[in-house]
Amino acid sequence: MTLLADLLSTVFERRYRQPARKGQDNRPIEELACDLVGSAGETSGLALAADILSGFENLSDDKKLVFFQYLATAMNIDPESVRNTLDDYERNPSKSSYRAFLTAAEPRRQELIRRLNRVPRATGALVRMRADLLRMVKTDSELAALDLDFRHLFASWFNRGFLVLRPINWESPAHILEKIIAYESVHAIDSWDDLRRRLQPTDRRCFAFFHPSMPDEPLIFVEVALTKGIPSSIQTLLAEDRTATPEDEADTAVFYSISNCQAGLASISFGNSLIKQVASDLSAELSGLKTFVTLSPIPTLTRWLQANDAASDINNPDESKAVAAHYLLNAKGHAGLPYDPVARFHLGNGAIVHAVHADADVSNKGREQSNGTMVNYLYDLPKVAQNHEKFATTKEVAASAEVRALANSSPVSQP
Amino acid sequence: MTLLADLLSTVFERRYRQPARKGQDNRPIEELACDLVGSAGETSGLALAADILSGFENLSDDKKLVFFQYLATAMNIDPESVRNTLDDYERNPSKSSYRAFLTAAEPRRQELIRRLNRVPRATGALVRMRADLLRMVKTDSELAALDLDFRHLFASWFNRGFLVLRPINWESPAHILEKIIAYESVHAIDSWDDLRRRLQPTDRRCFAFFHPSMPDEPLIFVEVALTKGIPSSIQTLLAEDRTATPEDEADTAVFYSISNCQAGLASISFGNSLIKQVASDLSAELSGLKTFVTLSPIPTLTRWLQANDAASDINNPDESKAVAAHYLLNAKGHAGLPYDPVARFHLGNGAIVHAVHADADVSNKGREQSNGTMVNYLYDLPKVAQNHEKFATTKEVAASAEVRALANSSPVSQP
Amino acid sequence: MTLLADLLSTVFERRYRQPARKGQDNRPIEELACDLVGSAGETSGLALAADILSGFENLSDDKKLVFFQYLATAMNIDPESVRNTLDDYERNPSKSSYRAFLTAAEPRRQELIRRLNRVPRATGALVRMRADLLRMVKTDSELAALDLDFRHLFASWFNRGFLVLRPINWESPAHILEKIIAYESVHAIDSWDDLRRRLQPTDRRCFAFFHPSMPDEPLIFVEVALTKGIPSSIQTLLAEDRTATPEDEADTAVFYSISNCQAGLASISFGNSLIKQVASDLSAELSGLKTFVTLSPIPTLTRWLQANDAASDINNPDESKAVAAHYLLNAKGHAGLPYDPVARFHLGNGAIVHAVHADADVSNKGREQSNGTMVNYLYDLPKVAQNHEKFATTKEVAASAEVRALANSSPVSQP
Amino acid sequence: MTLLADLLSTVFERRYRQPARKGQDNRPIEELACDLVGSAGETSGLALAADILSGFENLSDDKKLVFFQYLATAMNIDPESVRNTLDDYERNPSKSSYRAFLTAAEPRRQELIRRLNRVPRATGALVRMRADLLRMVKTDSELAALDLDFRHLFASWFNRGFLVLRPINWESPAHILEKIIAYESVHAIDSWDDLRRRLQPTDRRCFAFFHPSMPDEPLIFVEVALTKGIPSSIQTLLAEDRTATPEDEADTAVFYSISNCQAGLASISFGNSLIKQVASDLSAELSGLKTFVTLSPIPTLTRWLQANDAASDINNPDESKAVAAHYLLNAKGHAGLPYDPVARFHLGNGAIVHAVHADADVSNKGREQSNGTMVNYLYDLPKVAQNHEKFATTKEVAASAEVRALANSSPVSQP
């Protein structure tokens, strides 16, 4: 593998400093895009693609919208052509009739995006392009269709098999670490010293997924604390003055923060793979680890309580816990799935609701979103697959007996 | 980039030695494939995919054919469903109607192949799977359609932007070098000593494209000789007892052998990019290089002469040269393109026919395929793009004045 | 070289986390040291050495002093034995009589230090040990002798041929960068943002020497600014709001800060090699660079003026400049060498005094040490060797005509 | 550590291709050497050193001898000066009197060798220089003294703490592998296919020590077979058609070949460290390994039998075994140590004689040197240190009860 390691570093260092071409093509970007899809050869295509990508980054939002609308309409499928090639193929199924159908049934903008991706560093530019698109897509159904095309291609390119898991630690490059600071979205990192406290102690770990074509950009990362026993407070877990647990004394790995880094990769899911891969790696490295658990926020509890006029029914921490348990088990949103997005994520991964804690996040954010309660989702590795299957089939929320009992004692009982 | 380098080496070494799962699922592979496409979650999907891939590799050819036929028929598009979703979409274009159409218009086997690719090391296995398919596809139009799906996905995954160019030299890993020996398809490498002669001297270079998900497998490689002046004999160029040209005295880079390595990547073209990238890199590294040229075989000259009953019209080396020039300029095959496949490749890349040599390859193979003649195609970097465009448009063979004159003196003049 | 790269990373990661042994030997450290020098085999020696090194780090200063005194006296040379073996060798010069003399003439503590160095990571520990020694050595001539032994061995181990030059940039590991912040001793770096301004812009560079046995510790580093023309003010050079010079427009490389990092490597000189190596590397990388120059403090100007009761003779910036020029050219210290330590360093390296600037460092420190003046030393690469030779022979300060003229106009003229 | 990895690869690639200087100094090498020791500064020193090293490599043996004799005589210690500085130091022990003594007591050629070593790549050149010296040293006591100086410096530079252990496998660079083929000195490797059989199967391992300043040159390597049970025949162990043992089924690691690679590092011992490090690493990696053992030749058995007129007393394999056991336990050479060099090495490392086998090496070499017998030395890791101490003290050969019994039945009983 060393070859690969070496090769990538060599190539990136050398190649990507040099512009691939001289002289920008200054025609409107739509015209360039049209040319690129028509271009037979790679030679002129690369220059065109580079011009489109760098041109796009410099456009105003208005112009970007025009470009997206162009892709959405002028490069959409042509229904007549789909029907005709489909008829041909049905009458006479052959390699060439099938090829004609495939070509007609795929909007030309997919081929455009693939051709744009030939340029070095293009993948990151396309991810940023989709981030722009997502800002603009809202209710515009034509742009929503365009977004589906991006998503279709990204799902193929950011396939799990192409991702690389990488530990992030105090020996990682500063330009990666500053992105960890910027992208942390659960419990903010407020300085380099704070970052060091999350990375350097023997009982802290961090892992991120990378894609070989975007080596400077983490896609998603998870922060892990190694503990003795399951923690019940994020402030205690992250206290500046705590004593680090020696890694061979830890029995529990706590996933206390998971952050997606790329707005442009929304709906391309990595979190599931990340948690399982990290749990499996840690388990292999530290044989003392027996429990894999999260310490998670309950981000929409307050909102749900308010929507149900139940926020005022809670009088003490015990009731707070019980209500949270009830909410996690019973509050449903779209399609009968849990109302809480974090619950949806972990239950969908095959975890179960293991324990609920009051006064577990006493920050303003914690108080506001869930009255300070937090939850441990448990990843019981041998059972994760079957939990996942069951949840996918029945949408039933799996929970420990303790949590189920707690939920039954809730003063709030709206479904 | 070091991060990436390090990360890849680490991950590969650690992860890929361990089997991802315990206990093979022994149901028929077709049933597993059906399950995999239906499987909602990644968890069970990974195990299924691994079982399918390892199961497939152990099948007999008969069973592989059955599996391919299953994909070709049971996982084909359903024309009725395409029509219905298309009608819906036309009537009511929306995100969901578009998604329904996209899903219907793409055969389920494409999604199957994408899911198979989530397993570590799957990409190589899928490339080998397509190599099997290509052996079997022949005239079976259903399998040909299946192959188009593989090709469609591979074109996306092996996008130029994902490939990595790597020098191959005497310090490269032995397991890569043995593949260079095995895959060389133009001028066979008959031993490790012969290999060393192609890699170690100061006037020899070799470069290969790799894909990050198949780091042990070169995709295509090119061998280069640095020379003073343009060479006219492959035997002289590769003579064991020649004296190496110091690299700062060389004025010419000769691409004397290009070999595709992966049968399963047939029709996914890398050669064009490879030559241009290598020419551009060498040009940056060695400022003395002014000329980029091939020393190429003319593989189908004899066949064409025989087909035209003209093989016996050649009486001496001069006539041999003139006939070769005539053939290269005028002999046409499919779609008005040059009859000679190597000519098609280089002219399509934007090179021109620069010179023709008699007695340039006096090996048996050289004598048989072209009466010993060889040709230099010239890559004039500033003109490559426009040459390419012109050839794409007019199919006219660009050649030096010298070669054109030579062609005019040919004793054979069949078109 | 990839092999080496790979090998070192692998080995370090794996090996150096695990303690080499179980169970510390708790005898007094002096007893362990005595055993280690006597120990015939490496097997027990490694454990002993590890115990001594870790034991030493935990000693109080008093106990460290006792240990150093033990080495200085009990492990000193035995003059009688030197004389006897020398007589034997003179009478009968043979391999064994020579070996006996060599053994007698080298204090046993040198062999002790070498054996301590066999333990992984020992080199760093020994450098820290010498840093302790240097704190204690003062006027104690026995400890001074011990220090000479450390220095003798370190000069051999930190031989230029074993050092590795490494660019430091914003992609370097955070644990290295925090050391750059800590060790910068000329113009303090006051935050990670300040550090980024020294590393990330296109016109900033930083390089450090490392030793393979202390890969986490820079030995010395130099900060470089790429400029158009020679700068005359450090505040302008480091201004937060300046515009970066594109690297291909720069004609001058300015070495504006050189910091030694390891107190324990005092008197082991790297700075000379570092500047020349960096100048030569930059010159190869950026062909536009024509001038290699420092922007240096004049740290002892004020002290010298005060010692000569001349501080009050300066009335304006012009006089300030002229006095600084006079001082640099004429003020002598020990052994007829320049009084100014920075001048001694650069002149000893073969640089010349190129220009002097008033109001060049308006920080408190700059005002205090040199009334705000700074100096450019010029490294004229083709002449550096002959400048160096001349300075070594004549101790004459080489300077530009401009600086010589300036010095002549100085209102202060003490020699 | 990645930093180091990266840094070394970068530096080596860049720097070592460029000559450090223009224009060779053509004076006699002795004159250059004299200058170099006198040279105050590093600047001119580097060029001088490079000239001496490259000059030396091109000398005839006669001229090399003259150079060595020059070092041996003109750069020897000056006894008078040693005495004077020693007297001074005794009368007035101070830093400067100690420094004067140290300088006088060390022959100037040691400083010369250190200065030569400042040039990039010099370490390898000095190792080759000592290889030349060792060829010439024979009985010349002055050259023997010079060799002691080389050895003294090399022992310091090739300190265990500076060495790096590296697995050698089929993914190692070809230029390293060809050296493994060349340097294997126990059981010759006769082709690249043979090499692959020693490296690629799951039950084969190879490890080498490297020095960071000679990254292309293994210093010593050991070949290991993973087996079930202790093997009794080298031909069986290396049989081309054997079935590889899966690595998790192996219970025994067999060190079947250890080869020193650098003639110029004679008497600088690495083998001891290598075996223990490899045993410890394998033990950590493969928990099933319980036994660490060699399968070793008995190279001087036949010679000893002939010297004792006992060669003809052996009539069958059983007697052959018994005689070998007797020889290993009782035959003494210099200083009461075992007569057999391989026995001396392993017993000195703390191994014991575990078992003796007849017909274990049926090659011509095996037949000739030991009548086909071989021996297993057992490395019982927890006991190695105490075995080593005991052997160092008592010189008594430790052996299993079985071997001791066997020895008692030997038909030959000369001591």
The 3 state secondary structure assigned to C55-93 is HHHCCCHHHHHHHHHHHHHHCCCCHHHHHHHHHHHHHCC
Nearest CA in chain A to C13: A171
Substitution target from D1, D8, D9 for chain A, most A beta carbons within 10 A: D9
Q: How far is C40 from C43, CA to CA, in rounded Å?
A: 9
Query: Do D351 and D221 belong together in one domain?
Result: no
Q: What is the DSSP string of C270-302?
A: -HHHHHHHHHHHHHHH-TT--EEEE-B--TTHH
pLDDT digits (tens, 9 = 90+) for D364-374: 999 999 999 99
Q: Let me know if residue B413 belongs to a domain.
A: no
Give the minimum alpha-carbon distance from B192 to chain A in angstroms, rounded to a whole number. Answer: 19
Same domain, B22 and B152: yes
Q: Is C90 on the interface with B (CB under 8 A)?
A: no
CB distance D274 to D220 below 8 Å: yes
Min CA distance, A3 vs chain D (Å)?
9
DSSP codes joined into one string, D11-34: HHHHHTTS-S-SS---S-HHHHHH
Alpha carbon distances (Å) from A152 to A158, A380, C281: 10, 32, 47
C6: which chain B residues are within 8 Å (Cβ-Cβ)?
Answer: 9
Q: Is C196 on the interface with A (CB under 8 A)?
A: yes
Minimal C-alpha gap between B169 and chain C (Å):
12
Residue A161: list chain B partners with CB under 8 A: 117-123, 213
**Does a structural domain hold residue D83?**
yes
User: In which residue ranges of chain B is pLDDT below 50?
Assistant: 1-21
Contact D173 B173 (CB under 8 A): yes
Q: Which has the closest alpha carbon to B6: A252, C10, C360?
A: C10
- Separation of alpha carbons B118 and B42, rounded Å: 9
Interface touch A6/D9, C-beta < 8 Å: yes
CB–CB contact B82 A105 (8 Å): yes
> What is the least distance, in Å, from the CA of A53 to any CA of chain C?
23
A173 to C175: CB separation less than 8 angstroms, yes or no: no
> Which of A339, A253, A238 minimizes the C-alpha distance to A298?
A339
Residue numbers in B near D173 (CB within 8 A): 170-174
**Which of D99, D159, D268 is most worth mutating to test chain C (most C CB atoms within 10 A of its CB)?**
D159
Return residues 136-155 of A near B (CB < 8 Å). Answer: 141-142, 144-145, 147-149, 152-153, 155
Assess if residue D4 is contained within a domain: no
Tell me, yes or no, whether C11 lies in a domain: no
Range with lowest mean pLDDT among A369-383, D86-100, D310-324: D310-324
Is any Cβ of chain A less than 8 angstroms from the Cβ of B392? yes
Candidate from A89, A216, A384 with C-beta closest to B43: A384
Average pLDDT, chain C: 90
Closest CA to A341 of A271, A411, A415, A255: A271
Q: Cβ contacts (< 8 Å) between C3 and chain B: which residues?
A: 171
- Cβ–Cβ gap C3/D176 under 8 Å: yes
Å between D323 CA and nearest CA of chain C: 30
Cβ–Cβ pairs < 8 A, chains A and D: 8
- Which H helix or E strand runs over C215? none
Identify the pLDDT of residue C381.
Answer: 87
Q: What is the pLDDT of residue A175?
A: 93
- Tallying the residues shown for chain B, one arrives at 415
Could you tell me how many CB contacts below 8 A there are between chain B and chain C? 8
- Which residue out of D13, D175, D197 would a mutagenesis test of the B interface target, given it has the greatest number of B Cβ atoms within 10 Å? D175
Q: Compare all CA atoms of chain D with the CA of A173 and give the residue at the minimum distance.
A: D3
Average model confidence (pLDDT) across chain A? 90
| Alpha-carbon torsion angle C56, C58, C64, C68, nearest 10 | 10
- Mutation target for D interface from C2, C3, C115: give the one with most D CBs within 10 A: C3
Q: Are B240 and B319 in the same domain? A: no
CB–CB of A352/A377 below 8 Å? yes
CA distance D299 to D368: 9
Parallel, antiparallel or unpaired: strands D291-294 and D252-260: parallel
Q: In chain A, how many domains are there?
A: 3
**Pair C252, C350 in one domain:** no
Per-residue pLDDT band for D23 (boundaries 50, 70, 90) equals: low
Interface pTM, i.e. ipTM: 0.87
Nearest-CA distance A170 → chain C (Å): 6
Q: Is C2 on the interface with A (CB under 8 A)?
A: yes
pTM to 2 decimal places: 0.89
Contact C199, A178 (CB under 8 A): no
In a domain, B5, yes or no: no
Nearest to D210 among C7, C101, C213 (CB): C7
Pair D224, D306 in one domain: no
Q: What is the average per-residue pLDDT within D239-253?
A: 94
Per-residue pLDDT of chain C (415 residues), as tens digits, is 344 444 444 433 333 333 344 567 788 999 999 989 887 655 668 888 999 999 999 999 999 999 999 999 999 999 999 999 999 999 999 999 999 999 999 999 999 999 999 888 899 999 999 999 999 998 788 899 999 999 999 999 998 888 888 899 999 999 999 999 999 989 999 999 999 999 999 999 999 999 988 888 999 999 999 999 999 999 999 999 999 999 889 999 999 999 999 999 998 988 888 998 899 889 988 989 999 999 999 999 999 999 998 888 888 999 999 999 999 999 999 899 999 999 999 998 899 999 999 999 999 999 999 999 999 999 998 888 889 889 988 999 999 999 999 999 999 887 7
Running DSSP on this structure, what letter comes out for residue B160?
G
Please tell me whether residues B69 and B139 are part of one structural domain. Answer: yes
* Residue of A15, A17, A43, A53 to mutate, testing the B interface (most B Cβ within 10 Å of its Cβ): A43
Quick one: which of A145, A85, A335 has its CA closest to B100? A145
Partners of B192 on chain D (C-beta within 8 Å) are: 174, 192
Alpha carbon distance C305, B75 (integer Å) = 92
Nearest to A170 among C170, C171, C174 (CB): C174
Q: The domain spanning residue C255 has which CATH number?
A: 3.40.630.180
Query: Chain C partners of B3 at a C-beta cutoff of 8 Å?
Result: 171
Does any domain span residue D5?
Answer: no
Residue D7 lies in a domain: no
Give the distance from residue A115's alpha carbon to the nearest chain B alpha carbon, in angstroms: 8
pLDDT at A58: 93
For residue B12, give how far its alpha carbon lies from the nearest alpha carbon of chain D (Å). Answer: 13
Which of D2, D11, D248 to mutate: most B Cβ within 10 Å?
Answer: D2
DSSP class of A176: H
**Would you state the pLDDT for residue D42?**
58
Residues of B whose CB is below 8 A from A395? none
Q: Could you tell me if B260 and B362 lie in one domain?
A: no
Flag whether B6 is in a domain.
no
CA–CA min distance D92, chain B (Å): 56
| Beta carbons of D171 and A9 less than 8 Å apart | no
Which amino acid belongs to residue A70? Y
Query: Does C311 contact chain D (CB < 8 Å)?
Result: no
d(CA B316, CA B386): 37
Q: What is the DSSP letter of C246?
A: P
Q: What is the distance between the alpha carbons of residues C271 and C259, in angstroms, rounded to a whole number?
A: 9
Distance from CA of A78 to the nearest CA of B (A): 10
Please give the pLDDT value at position D11: 38
User: Within an 8 Å CB–CB cutoff, is residue C3 touching chain A?
Assistant: yes
Domain boundary among A294, A324, A348: A294
Query: Measured between alpha carbons, how far is residue A128 from residues A17, A53, A258, C187 in Å?
Result: 20, 10, 21, 39
Q: Across all residues in chain B, what is the average pLDDT?
A: 90
Contacts of D174 (CB under 8 A, 6+ apart): B170, B171, B172, B173, B174, B177, B192, B196
Do D126 and D144 sit in the same domain of this protein? yes
- Supply the pLDDT for residue C251: 97
Asked if residue B86 lies in contact with residue A127, where contact means CB atoms within 8 angstroms, the answer is: no
**What per-residue confidence (pLDDT) applies to C18?**
38
- Output D304 or A166, whichever has higher pLDDT: D304
Residue D6 banded pLDDT, cuts 50, 70, 90: very low
Of B157, B180, B204, the residue that ends a domain is B157
Owner of token pair 């025989």:
B306
pLDDT per residue as tens digits for the range D153-187: 999 999 888 888 889 999 999 999 999 999 998 99
Provide the CATH number for the domain around residue A339: 3.40.630.150
Positions in chain A short of pLDDT 70: 1-23, 40-44
Residues C310 and C390 grouped into a single domain: yes
Same domain membership, residue C44 and residue C151: yes
Same domain, A122 and A192: no
pLDDT of residue B215: 85
Instruction: Please check whether residues C272 and C397 belong to one and the same domain.
Output: no
Name the A residues in 7-46 with CB < 8 Å from any D CB. 9
Task: Give pLDDT, residue A328.
Answer: 97
Q: Which residue of B has its CA nearest to A392?
A: B40
Strand order in the sheet with B352-357: B164-167, B204-210, B220-227, B252-260, B291-294, B374-378, B352-357
Pairing mode, strands A291-294 and A252-260: parallel
**Do the chains contact at A118 and B8, CB–CB below 8 Å?**
no
Q: Can you give the CATH number for the domain in which B105 is found?
A: 1.20.140.90
Domain final residue, candidates C157, C185, C206: C157
Give the domain extent around C389: 301-408
Chain D nearest CA to C92, separation (Å): 10
